[in-house]
A and B are shown apart, each in its own frame.
Chain A
Amino acid sequence: NAGVMQNPRHLVRRRGQEARLRCSPMKGHSHVYWYRQLPEEGLKFMVYLQKENIIDESGMPKERFSAEFPKEGPSILRIQQVVRGDSAAYFCASSPPTGGEANEQFFGPGTRLTVL
């Protein structure tokens, strides 16, 4: 059973470009979470999605950031018009559909975004 997969592992963008980060959850998992780790800071929750639904986006910046988890395919975190402050490691986690909030989250290896 493959773990959570993220790609690309490393992404370089110039200011103003768009960044698309992909996350494939573990097999059988239908809940996906995105977290961001800024340099020298802890991980911060961004958004929680289930298939075709955003459950909690309280940690998402109000502008330029969006996330989706379509019925088919991976979850996508999209950052439009990137700025240098978006440079960070972005981690995806998944959990199974049963068990609710008590479920363990399993993390992917992360995508390290560098904005030039």
Chain B
Amino acid sequence: KQEVTQIPAALSVPEGENLVLNCSFTDSAIYNLQWFRQDPGKGLTSLLLIQSSQREQTSGRLNASLDKSSGRSTLYIAASQPGDSATYLCAVRGNTPLVFGKGTRLSVIA
């Protein structure tokens, strides 16, 4: 059974810092991995999708990497801004449609 873990559970950083969010999964037989952003009381916004054959994806200040063999992904956020404050969710697609981690709650302090 696939399990997804995100570390840390919460993170507070000053504005301008670069930061890394971690995601690990137990079953490496995945089709893809998605990173989402969720604001309080809101839906999910897809940030990046990495297919199993890919090593990384970039979008603006965001870069996500995937090491399928070790069951790890990282989301790198450059030059963080207060508007980046949200919960970041990692989800993997294998035999079950999307297994989610519990998320990392990020606060960027101005």
Contacts and interface: CB of A to CB of B under 8 A. Distances in A.
A107 interface: yes
Interface string A37-72: 000011111001000000010110000000000000
Nearest to A101: B31
A107 B102 CA distance: 17
A45 B102 contact: no
Contacts of A56: 96-97
A102 B96 contact: no
Contacts, number: 60
A48 B91 CA distance: 16
B9 to A, nearest CB: 11
Given A101-B93, A102-B32, A105-B34, A42 B100 contact: yes
A102 B98 contact: no
A44 B99 CA distance: 7
Given A42-B89, A42-B102, A43-B89, A104 B46 contact: yes
Interface of A: 33, 35, 41-45, 48, 56, 58-59, 91, 93, 100-102, 104-110, 112
16 contacts: A41-B102, A42-B100, A42-B102, A43-B44, A43-B98, A45-B97, A45-B98, A58-B96, A91-B43, A93-B98, A101-B94, A102-B31, A102-B32, A104-B34, A107-B46, A110-B42
Interface of B: 4, 31-32, 34, 36, 41-46, 49, 51-52, 89, 91, 93-94, 96-103
